Amino acid sequence: MRLLVTGGCGFIGSNFIRYILEHYDPEYVTNVDALTYAGNIANVAGLAAQYGDRYEFFHADIANADLMDELMRKHHFFAVINFAAESHVDRSINSPQNFIHTNSVGTSVLLDAARRHGVRRFVQISTDEVYGSLGPEGRFTEESPISPSSPYSASKAGADQLALAFHKTYGEEVVVTRCSNNYGPYQYPEKLIPLMATNAMRDRKLPVYGDGLNVRDWIHVEDHCAAIVAVLFNGQPGQVYNIGADCELTNLDLVRRILAHLGKPEDLIEFVADRLGHDRRYAIDSTKIRTELGWKPLHNIEKALPATIDWYAANREWWEKLIP
C-alpha cells in the first residue's frame, strides 16, 4: 500500500511520515513538498537510507496540475494525506495570496487528480482555526459553524469545503480532520513554543501578543499522527473529525512554563501589540474520534513540553540554520 503525503517536509507531515513508516510495515510513502520556507528537507533526513524503497521524495508544488497528474500516474496510491499548507497566521495577514494558492488551489488540484486516478481515500488535514474564536465556555464540535478570522483560516476553511463537496459530488472517500495546536520536534521556529524556547536559550526577549491571555488547546504531534492513522483507515467518508487532547493553556502560562524549564527569568517576557483578528480562545471537543475510532492521546504536557524544549536545546544546529 502506497500513501501520498503532501507537505511531508513540514512539521506535522514529517512527523507523520516517521510515525507511519515506524509503526506500519510495509506501507510505502511518497512525500511531495515544494520546500517553501517551512518545508525543510532536513526534517526527513535519513529516511531514504533507513527505509529504502518504502520512502521516496518528489519535489513539487501541489498546485501544479501537470506534476500532480504525473505523480499519480506513476503510482497506484491508496490514499492522499494532505498536510501541504502555508500555516503561519502572521504571514497570511501580510501575504494572503500565497495561502490561497497552496491551501485552496493546491487542495482542489489534488482532489481532482486523486479522483481521476482512482485514489481510494483522501484525508484533508485542517485546523480548529476554521471555527473562529470561542468565548470563555464551551468547545468546538464538528457541528460548530465555520467562522474563520484570518486569511490562513479562511483558505483552510475553503479547502475543507472543497474536499467535502468532492465527496458529495463525485463520491470520493474524503475525510477532514481539524486539530488543535500541535507541539513537538521539527516545528518551524517562528511558531509559539519553538520561538519562545529558542529566544529564551539565547536570552532574547519573548514577544507575547496583547495581554497573553489568549487560550489554545495543545496536543503533542505524535498523538495527532496516531489520530490521523485512525481516520485514514477507519474514518467514515464525508465526515469531519476533531482532534484534541483537552489541554487548554493561556499563551502567558505556556511561556512561563518554558522559562521555568530553562531556568530563565520572566522579565524576558515582552508584551507586544496584539495580532490583527487574534482569536481569543480555541478548545476542541474530540468525543467523536474517541468514541467512534477508539483514539485517545497518550502524551501529557507536563512531561511532553519539557521533552520538546529539550529537543530544541539538543538540536540547535537544526534551528539556527532557519532563523537569525
Tell me whether residue 25 is one of the annotated catalytic residues: no
Residue in 61, 86, 129, 223 annotated catalytic: 129
Tell me whether residue 128 is one of the annotated catalytic residues: yes
What b/e readout covers 45-61, taking b as 16+ CB neighbours within 10 angstroms? eebeeebeebbbbbebb
Enter the C-alpha cell of residue 160: 475543507
Kindly give, in sequence order, each residue whose CB lies less than 8 Å from that of residue 225, ignoring residues fewer than 6 positions away.
Answer: 12, 15, 16, 19, 20
Q: Residue 248 belongs to what H/E stretch?
A: strand 248-250
Q: Around Cβ 90, how many Cβ atoms within 10 Å?
A: 13
Tell me whether residue 129 is one of the annotated catalytic residues: yes
Residue in 28, 51, 55, 152 annotated catalytic: 152
Rounded to whole angstroms, the Cα distance separating 109 from 10 reads 20
Characterize the bridge pairing of strands 79-82 and 2-6.
parallel
Enter the C-alpha cell of residue 219: 496536543
Rounded to whole angstroms, the Cα distance separating 306 from 315 reads 14
Residue in 128, 160, 279, 285 annotated catalytic: 128
Coil, strand or helix: which one is 22? helix
Active site residues: 128-129, 152
